[in-house]
Structures are given as structure tokens and as C-alpha cells.
Amino acid sequence: MQIFKPLKTIGSIFEKHEAMLKEATAAVQKREHYTPFPEMPSPQEYGETAEADQKKQFESQMGGKFERLKQDSDSWLASDEESPYTGKPLGISYPVYTDIDSYIKASEKASQDWKHTDPKTRAGILIESLQRLKTHFFEIAHATMHTTGQAFMMSFQASGPHAADRALEAIALGYQELTRFPDHISWEKPAGKFSLKLEKFGTNVGRGLGLSIGCATFPTWNSMPGLYASLIAGNAVIVKPHPKAIYPMAIVVGVIQEVLSENGFSPNLVMLAVDTTEKQITKKLAEHSSVRIIDFTGGSEFGRYVEELPGKIVFTEKAGINSVIIDSVDDLEAMAKNIAFSVSLYSGQMCTAPQNIYVPESGIKLKEGHASLADVENAIVNATKGLVEHPKAGHAVAGAIQSKATIERVKKASGLGGKILLESKPIANPEFPDATTQSPVIIEVERNKRDIIKGEMFGPIVFIIPTKDSAESLELASGNAREHGAISCSAYTQDPELMEKIAMQMAETGTPVSFNLTGNIYVNQNSGFSDFHVTGGNPSGNASFTNAEFVVKRFVRIQSRVFVP
Amino acid sequence: MQIFKPLKTIGSIFEKHEAMLKEATAAVQKREHYTPFPEMPSPQEYGETAEADQKKQFESQMGGKFERLKQDSDSWLASDEESPYTGKPLGISYPVYTDIDSYIKASEKASQDWKHTDPKTRAGILIESLQRLKTHFFEIAHATMHTTGQAFMMSFQASGPHAADRALEAIALGYQELTRFPDHISWEKPAGKFSLKLEKFGTNVGRGLGLSIGCATFPTWNSMPGLYASLIAGNAVIVKPHPKAIYPMAIVVGVIQEVLSENGFSPNLVMLAVDTTEKQITKKLAEHSSVRIIDFTGGSEFGRYVEELPGKIVFTEKAGINSVIIDSVDDLEAMAKNIAFSVSLYSGQMCTAPQNIYVPESGIKLKEGHASLADVENAIVNATKGLVEHPKAGHAVAGAIQSKATIERVKKASGLGGKILLESKPIANPEFPDATTQSPVIIEVERNKRDIIKGEMFGPIVFIIPTKDSAESLELASGNAREHGAISCSAYTQDPELMEKIAMQMAETGTPVSFNLTGNIYVNQNSGFSDFHVTGGNPSGNASFTNAEFVVKRFVRIQSRVFVP
């Protein structure tokens, strides 16, 4: 007997990807290093002609219709996207519905088959889509570069393999949770001479239509985890990318639609809903009664609006103030170089980029001797200057600035009244002479001017804040995290007791700390399968990639029972 | 190296209860029958003198101060509680704080140690409290009886062993989730000639102060799961019982406080916050910025208010319309008896009690022959009459009516204009001649009068609703579940295809179905460790006892990392 029969099961697609699912599930649990998708854009990994072929595909896409979506639509919309590298519009048009209800209706219809499919089939199809996406990583890299302003290497890694890692992580944890409890239990309760018997049958039901609201800086990395988590749980999803960064997610959605179609599912299960800055549709979608799940990455104000929508299940990543606490360090130079890289990487436009650096006024202890506040400041300033002025590394690390608002913010920051330690300047990029660039501005904020720092100031803006001592540094860092949120924290200390104190006090504000980073490993980086990205424990976001909460809220478990006489 | 050291660890208390935790964890996973706390109030299970001793304790508590709480307070408050069996006030006073902030401050202070304690120690202490509570199950039974109106057997089982089962289930699943990921990972990423190494350390941080808002009908069974789930996750909890049903939870809180004190923790970690109907403090507590987690059981209107409080993590069980779909049955008599018991048990005051019974106008198929609508109605009416008029079984099954509003509702229902098939009458109770009792009213609702049923009508009120066919029955039952919520559904059908259809369509409304129950097993009953109580998938509640979501939302995971040069 079985009262919950899946209407549709495709064994072969599960079997094809079973080994990868198993590996991923083990990795999620162990949280050791695991990279199923090679992070280097090398010909050995991706094929001799992949890079050239896909660059051509990217170039031929410029100025044309994006015809790879299989979803229903009633017209074409020219997007707002423009390249921070060339200053020119991409000129891409996407298929759209002119009214919101058409997206909702099409999604809901498409979800009928999917929700009655077993988790195995869903996992197989979703992993197949990631494997297929792998053959588009170079195109995604160019698409990301010319929408977000990321440099090529980051565009490739973040939007390609790392985003696929995060999606696979969500599939694996989702699959684990969906199959956590037995689907059939023979329940028997002793009751005197005889016993009471029930056959119990369990099933999972998706919470309903999902909406994925994307951001302009990490269009695939930030959107794919929630998208795949909703899908594995049995829900349809409408993908509403940022109007300035549509193309990367269009590729992802196109690939998923292709795999769905091939396997007999409606491609409308995942729909791309494109809008323009002038005429946004996000609120209409978010407030629609059929939308039950919302994944959001972006600014804090809109994030709060989403979080407070009644009756929705909401996952947010917003903004925060990331701190660096400098207490003592073996090698000042090595620390300064590491910090310089972290604040310059993608010009401070990462949600994990440090903003406020706390240094005791009396300076810090070194392995040998002591460094004054000025020594520390000089080291950071010089390392940053050296990096951004380096003819090759400068633009390759900093990329370009995604939005004009960020440029404005950098300019305003210089005029706030702090002591400018390093001016922000354009960064030369020989390949793209018209790129919008801006190196980090580094500002010392004296004690009596601390109120010039107003929450998060997104972009290449760095404050060095002299403090009485490391205890005050920690108070300020944790207070900011509690009040404004924080996604990362970096700390340098050679004192094991202080290390514990910082770790615990920041943990209580929901902030992970990276200690004593030097060399080629940076506070900005959060690894799929190992690091929890955002904890949900402070105002920077209410969710985490990927913990159990991120997946279990997307479905409910129902267990029915049949009496056996 | 270890950067997250628990400040306090008590190995012995964990070891004492490790075997039970292990058993419970396995049971949660398998969801087979498991009852760690014996459900029969027998001398063999609970000791020869337990019943008499605790009855004395109950009697001596009447009219006196409840002095077993170890929490801080500044005055005593005489409670509103009165016995539905005697109509008399219990006359108990409880220690209280006169202002809300004092509770908050005391709780927050008490949570400091607890939140820095490892999950093992917490699990040990919490299981110890359940074991200790076992020695109070008879007193809890009397306390429950004389506040809720439940009959003795239900009072004992629901408030004693079954509530403890549910609490243990929450501890077990919570412990499993808290220890799901490794606390220490040596992460190593190959990077050309050398590799990058980080030591990663994980910890869990409770979301913050919990508030448990109790109901008047199942004071411990409905409150203990959330209370223990919040505690295992590292949070302090303020317990705000229903003003009419304080005593049972006072015993629970007193026992937890005793065990906390013995183990060097502040008893204020769990505080009982008592109020009266006239001057309720629930909203003030719920809206307090320090309260982060709210568990609520009770009416739908207040439930929605709690769910919509911004920035809170809320778990609710509200009301719903539970349906019985009668399609075909082998033995009409056996079905009717089972339904009669279900609607009479605790006089329909269970959240799982059936309300709307759908029967095709053309009657139903029996194993041999056919029963008309009138046959089905007569069978249910006669079985109910026989049960409630039975001199011993009647009051032992129906108990008493908890609130005057329920009496009013029963009277109103009779006057709605449906066809009264069975009048509601008092039920004789020789032991308690003044008991407030009311047998179920059974009303046929003709097609053109269906609008007389307004959502849930809590209490011993049963509607029989003739339908075109079972397809219409299912439409009505699932429509009600979707719109008003449903916690249970009972269905009788001998058609396997229809069984699947009912199971799936009701599952899509977040409602579990019990099929073909006859004999001594009832739709009202949900077993700890096996049945998920409420699914969270319809308006009857947003949470479930006990799935992963019920525990993981109460803490966040933070993973920090240390660079190894």
C-alpha cells in the first residue's frame, strides 16, 4: 500500500547524478574543502575551445534578442543593462509578459507536475542543469563582467563554479531534509492483549510559488542557492533579476528550462521576469498573494520591506558593517597586504568587504617590537596604493564600479571631514579605457568624528578608527554588527584569550570572524560546502547559505495514516 | 586550539541521561511507536502511593500560595482559575513581578550562563527535569482536570506522559540539529605547490528570549514542546500560561527551576509570568523588543496578531475546521462508534476534534449493501447518544466544558437553523454534580443552509453536511482546510483510488488524513515521536511538533576560522 504515489518519476536522471549528490551530501555534512566545479578557467578543465567559443557567443549576444528562454511570453523588453567597462548598453532584449498575473498563472500551472515528482527526480534534473551550465561558464563570466563590473577572474569564479557549488549545496541539503523521515512506517502500539496498528505514509508539500529577487553585484552567486532550494522542495520560482544584471541569470534560467523541457516538464517552472529601472515589477510580484517564498539580496531598506510582508516566507541578505579588529600581529607587512587586497577586491563591492578598521591609538604589538597607529595606517595605505597602482594587478583585482551611486558615495565619503589617508583615484585599465573605476579611499576617523560614519557605506570606502584599546575595538565592532548587521569580521591578534573573546562576542552578534589572515586567503571569501554565508543572526540578513533552516522552511511534511483492522 | 569554549559543562548530568537521549533521537528518526513515559496511571508504573500522595498535594495546594517556584518576584497574584468540575475558584496565588521589564531583565541575566553551556549539558538538565516531572504526573493530572475540564485519564496522559514525550522529542531533535555539523574542521584547499589552511570552529547561538503563550485546554501538552525546544537551543523562556490554566505549567516550571538550581544555573532561565483575565500582560510581553521567539497556542485571531508581529520568530497553533469524509465503509456501526467517540472526547475541545462530517446525499456503500444518508446519520447519532448517556463512560470521555463561551457557542449552534439530529444535554457526573457539561449537538446542514457554518465552531458541535458525492465532500473539506485551516481529517473509503486522491488533495492543504479508523484509535490522537502535529501548511498554525523547522529557527550557526601559516 502507498497513498502518496509520485505522479512522475524519472529514474535515469537520478541515477546519472546519484554519485555527485552523494558526494555533495557528504561534503555538506563534513564541511571540508570540496569543489565539484573547477574554479580555474583553464582549457584542461573546460576544454580547449570553451573560452573562445563562449566569448564569441557573448559578443554575438550583444545588441540582440536573448532567444534561449523557453518560457511563455507576450512581448520583448529592451533591458537597461550597460557595461561598467565600456559605458555602453548591452542592447539585449528579453521575452516578457506585460502583466504580472500571466507570470503567476504560468508558474502555477507549471508547478503541478513538479510538485508531484519525487525528490530523486527533482535532484537529478537540477544537478543535470548545473552540469549543463558548466558549458556556459565563460559566457556567464563575460555576462557578469559587463553587468556587475567584476574583473574577469572573479566573474568566472563567482558566477560560474562557486555559484554552482552553492546551488549544489542547496540541492544536497534540501534532498537530505526531504528524505530525512521514512515515507512509510508500520506503527504498532501494544494495547493489552492485541495491539493497535496504523500504516503511516509521509510526503512533503512545497510551500508554494517562490520569487527570487536578484542583486546587481552577484547576480548568480546570490540567487542560485535560494532558487535551487525552492526547486528541490517542489516549488516553482519566478526569477526577478536586478534590471542592471539580467544576462547572467538569463543564461542560468535558460539552461534550467532546457533541461526541464527535455525531461517532459514545463519550462515555465522557472520564469525570468525582467523589468527596467524605470518601471519595476518587484513589489507587485512580492505582494502577490500567490507568492509564498521570497529570496532577496540587496539593500537594507528594500530588504526590510520584504521581511515585513505579512504571510511570506522570506530569506534575505542585506547590508552590514564589516569590521577589522587589529590587536597584535606577527608581520605588519603581511597583514597590510591582506587587508589591502580585501578592501580593493571588486572595489569593496562585496558584501563581505571590510569597511571599519579598528586600531588602538597606542599602536599594536608585533612579533618583534611595536607598531604605532601611524605605522599601521601607513602599512595599509602603502599596500593598497601598491596594489591598485600596479599596472596588471590593479584593475584585475578592483574591476569596475557597478553603479553611479557608488561613485557618488566614494566622493561624498572624502568630504565627510575625516582625515584622508589615501585618496580615491581611477584605476587604469588598458583593455577598457572607458571603465568606471575608483580605488579605495582610506579615511582616519578621530574619536570626536565617529558620527560621520553612517551605517554601511557600500563601495571602496575604508575607515580607520583609532580606539582606546582592543576592548573598545571589539565593543564598536560588535555594537555595529548588532545594530546594522555584519557579514564578515576580520581580526588580528596573537593573544589566545582575546581571540576567544572576539570569537564569542562577535558570534553573539551572529558574525563569523576570520583570524590572522595573511597570504592568498581573504575575509571576503566564503566557500561553498564549508562556510556558512551570512548567519541570519543580525540585521545583515535573516538567512544563511546553507543551513537546514534555508531549506526546511520551503516545504511542509504531512504524514497520513491508514487503520489496519 | 578551540575558540568557542563552553563556559560551563556538566558531564555527569549528560551521562546520566545519554541513553534516553540516544533512544529518543533514534525514535524521532524512525517515527515508530515509542513511549518513554508510561501512559497508564498505574501503581506498577508510578509507585504504589504516587496517586494518593499527589492527590493530597493537589488538595493542599487548593486555596494556597504556589511556593515551589524559585524565580525572583516582588508580589503574589491570586489567579482566576476555577474548576469546571466544581465551579469553584482554585484560590491559588503565584509569585509575580508587577512590571514586565523585571521579567525581561531577570530572564536575560539568567540566560548568560545557559547560552554558554554546551548542548550536552543542556540536554542532560532538560531530560533530568522531565524525569523529575514524572514524579508529579498525578498532581499535574488533577491540576489539568480542574483547570481545563478534561476527564482524569486524559488529564493524566495528555499533561503528563504525552507532554513529556513531546518535550523529549523537541530536546532530541534540537540536540541533533545543534550537533549536526562538526565543531572543528581542518580545512585545506590545494593551491598549486602549497595549500591554504584554515582551522574552522563552529558554534550555535540562541536567537534570544522566548515567550511561551499557553492555552486553556492543553496547558502543558501544547506549551512544553516549544519551551523545551527554545531551552535546548540556548534561550531563556518566559512562560505566560492562560489565566485560566496556570497550575499545570506552574508545576512544570517549578520542576525545571529546581533542576536548574541544583546544577548551578539561575532558575530565572524559565520564568512563569502569571496574569488574570482582567489584566493581561501577553501583548506587552510579545511586543517587547527583547522577546525574539514566540510560541503560541490558542485562538486564530490572537494567533494572527502574534504571527504578524515584525521581527519575531513565531510558532503558532491556532484553530481549524476538521472534516470527516464518509465515502464507503465496511462496518457502519464500527465507524459510527469511532466518530461518536471522537466528537465526544473532551467534548470536542481538542484541536483535532472533527466538526464537519460530509456524507453523499445518495448514501454510502457498505461491505454488504448500502446505507442511506439517514442510516449514516442515525448510526452516528445513536452511537453518540449511547456514549454520552452511558453512566460511566459518558463523563469519563466528555469531561467538562472549560469556558462559558463554549457553552454559549453550543446553544447558538442549535439555533442556527440547521436540522437538529441530536440535542446537546448536560452529562451526568456522580462525582462532580456541579460539573459544567454539554454533550455534542449534531446538526444536519442542508445544501442551501451551508453558510450557517462560520469557520471553526470550537466545542461539542458537529455538522453533518450532505453532498452531491465524495468528490464534492473532498472539495469542501480541502477548501475549508485551505481557507480556515485544519489540523486533522478523517476519511472512510474502501476505494483505493479515492483514498490516494483524498490523501494527496488534503496533503496539498497541509492536512494529514486518518483513514478508516475503527476500534480504539481515534483521529484526535497524535503520537509523540511518530505523528507530526499540525503541519504549518495551512491557517491552523505555522509550525509542527516536531519537525526540523520547529527547532532550527531557534538558533543560528556561526563558523569562525583561524589562518594557519
**Mean pLDDT along residues B163-187:** 97
Contact A196 B513 (CB under 8 A): no
Per-residue pLDDT at A2: 86
- Chosen for mutation from B549, B550, B554 (greatest number of chain A CBs closer than 10 Å) is B549
The three cell numbers of residue B176 are 541533533
Q: What is the pLDDT of residues B200-231, one digit of tens each?
A: 999 999 999 999 999 999 999 999 999 999 99
Contact A196 B521 (CB under 8 A): yes
Per-residue pLDDT at A345: 98
Could you give the 3-state DSSP secondary structure of residue A326? strand
| Domain A46-318+543-563 is found in CATH 3.40.50.970 | no
Show which of residues 136-195 on chain B sit within 8 Å of chain A, judged by CB atoms.
177, 180-182, 185-191
> Maximum CA pair distance of chain A?
88
Is residue A509 a contact partner of residue A535, using CB atoms and an 8 Å limit?
A: no
Instruction: Indicate the residue of B517, B531, B563 with minimum beta-carbon distance to A559.
Output: B531
Residues A228 and A479: their CA atoms lie apart, in Å, by: 34
Quick check: A111 contacting B, CB < 8 Å? Answer: no
Q: What is the pLDDT of residues B499-549, one digit of tens each?
A: 999 999 999 999 999 999 999 999 999 999 999 999 999 999 999 999 999
Per-residue pLDDT at A564: 87
pLDDT at A480 over 90: yes
Contact A177 B30 (CB under 8 A): no
Q: How far is CA A223 from CA A158, A233, A299, A350, in A?
A: 12, 16, 14, 15
Burial B165-178 (b: 16+ CB within 10 A, else e): bbbbbbbbbbbbbb
Contact B513 A189 (CB under 8 A): no
pLDDT band with cut points at 50, 70 and 90 for residue A100: very high
Per-residue pLDDT at B193: 85
Type and span of the H or E element at B368:
none
Contact B530 A500 (CB under 8 A): no
Compute the nearest-CA separation of A550 from chain B (Å): 10
Per-residue pLDDT at B8: 85
Per-residue pLDDT at A194: 86
| Residue B536 φ/ψ region, left for φ over 0, alpha for ψ in the -120 to 50 degree band, beta for the rest | left
Which residues does B30 contact at the CB level (< 8 Å), separation at least 6?
A182, A185
* Per-state percent for chain A, helix, strand, coil, to nearest 5: 40, 20, 40
Residues B89 and B146: their CA atoms lie apart, in Å, by: 9
Show which of residues 19-38 on chain B sit within 8 Å of chain A, judged by CB atoms.
29-33
Contact B32 A503 (CB under 8 A): no
Type and span of the H or E element at B177:
helix B163-178
Contact A549 B549 (CB under 8 A): yes
Contact A519 B560 (CB under 8 A): no
Per-residue pLDDT at B313: 97
Residues A80 and B266: their CA atoms lie apart, in Å, by: 60
Per-residue pLDDT at A406: 96
SS (H, E, C) B440-508: CEEEECCHHHHHHCCCCCCCCEEEEEEECCHHHHHHHHHHHHHHHCCCCEEEECCCHHHHHHHHHHHHC
* Sheet of B184-191, strand order: A419-422, A441-444, A461-467, A356-360, A323-326, A489-492, A513-515, B555-563, B194-206, B184-191
Per-residue pLDDT at A455: 86
- pLDDT > 90 fraction of chain B, expressed in percent and rounded: 96
Instruction: Indicate the residue of A181, A196, A560 with minimum beta-carbon distance to B512.
Output: A560
> What is the residue-averaged pLDDT of chain A?
97
Could you give the 3-state DSSP secondary structure of residue A408? helix
CB atoms under 10 Å from CB of B386, counted, come to 14
- Chosen for mutation from B179, B293, B498, B563 (greatest number of chain A CBs closer than 10 Å) is B563
pLDDT at B407 over 90: yes
Instruction: Indicate the residue of A496, A507, A563 with minimum beta-carbon distance to B203.
Output: A507
Say how many CA atoms lie within 13 Å of B206 toward its Cβ: 30
Q: How far is CA A181 from CA A178, A213, B28, B548, in A?
A: 8, 32, 9, 11
Q: Cell numbers 505579512 correspond to what residue?
A: A310
Residues A521 and A530: their CA atoms lie apart, in Å, by: 15
Per-residue pLDDT at B454: 82
Q: What is the pLDDT of residues A379-411, one digit of tens each?
A: 999 999 999 999 999 999 999 999 999 999 999
Which residues does A261 contact at the CB level (< 8 Å), separation at least 6?
A70, A267
| Residue B534 φ/ψ region, left for φ over 0, alpha for ψ in the -120 to 50 degree band, beta for the rest | left
Compute the nearest-CA separation of A332 from chain B (Å): 14
Q: What is the pLDDT of residues B478-494, one digit of tens each?
A: 999 999 999 999 999 99
The values of phi and psi at residue B311, to 5°, are: 80, 10
| Domain B323-515 is found in CATH 3.40.309.10 | yes
**Mean pLDDT along residues B275-298:** 98
* Cα angle: A349, vertex A355, A361; to 5 degrees: 160
> Maximum CA pair distance of chain B?
88
Compute the nearest-CA separation of A562 from chain B (Å): 5
Contact B558 A531 (CB under 8 A): no
**Mean pLDDT along residues B242-262:** 98
Q: How far is CA A224 from CA A211, A405, B17, in A?
A: 12, 26, 43
Quick check: B131 contacting A, CB < 8 Å? Answer: no
pLDDT at A191 over 90: no
Name B195's bridge partners.
Answer: B190
Q: What is the pLDDT of residues A115-130, one digit of tens each?
A: 999 999 999 999 999 9
Contact A558 B552 (CB under 8 A): no
Closest CA to A344 of A438, A443, A416: A438
- Chosen for mutation from A1, A2, A3 (greatest number of chain B CBs closer than 10 Å) is A3
pLDDT at B233 over 90: yes
Per-residue pLDDT at B429: 96
pLDDT at A272 over 90: yes
Q: How far is CA B8 from CA A442, B116, B120, in A?
A: 43, 7, 11
Which residues does A211 contact at the CB level (< 8 Å), separation at least 6?
A237, A238, A240, A285, A286, A291, A293, A294, A295
DSSP letter for B269, please.
Answer: G
Measured between beta carbons, the chain B residues lying within 8 angstroms of A29 are: 180-181
Per-residue pLDDT at B2: 86
Q: Is the pTM of this model over 0.95?
A: yes
Per-residue pLDDT at B6: 84
The three cell numbers of residue B433 are 454534580
- pLDDT > 70 fraction of chain B, expressed in percent and rounded: 100
The domain segmentation of chain B, as residue ranges, is: 47-318+543-563, 323-515
Per-residue pLDDT at B213: 98
DSSP letter for A400, please.
Answer: -
pLDDT band with cut points at 50, 70 and 90 for residue A6: confident
Q: What is the pLDDT of residues B433-454, one digit of tens each?
A: 999 999 999 999 999 999 999 8
Is residue B2 a contact partner of residue B184, using CB atoms and an 8 Å limit?
A: yes
Per-residue pLDDT at A199: 97
Per-residue pLDDT at B334: 98
Quick check: B525 contacting A, CB < 8 Å? Answer: no
- The CATH architecture to which B47-318+543-563 belongs is 3-Layer(aba) Sandwich (3.40)
Residues A180 and B27: their CA atoms lie apart, in Å, by: 13
Measured between beta carbons, the chain A residues lying within 8 angstroms of B548 are: 177, 180, 548, 552
Per-residue pLDDT at B487: 98
Q: What is the pLDDT of residues A197-216, one digit of tens each?
A: 999 999 999 999 999 999 99
Instruction: Indicate the residue of A4, A30, A521 with minimum beta-carbon distance to B182.
Output: A30
Nearest CA in chain B to A188: B33
Could you give the 3-state DSSP secondary structure of residue B104? helix
**Mean pLDDT along residues A535-562:** 97
pLDDT at B455 over 90: no
Contact B181 A517 (CB under 8 A): no
Contact A558 B510 (CB under 8 A): yes
Per-residue pLDDT at A562: 98
Name A189's bridge partners.
Answer: A196
Per-residue pLDDT at A8: 85
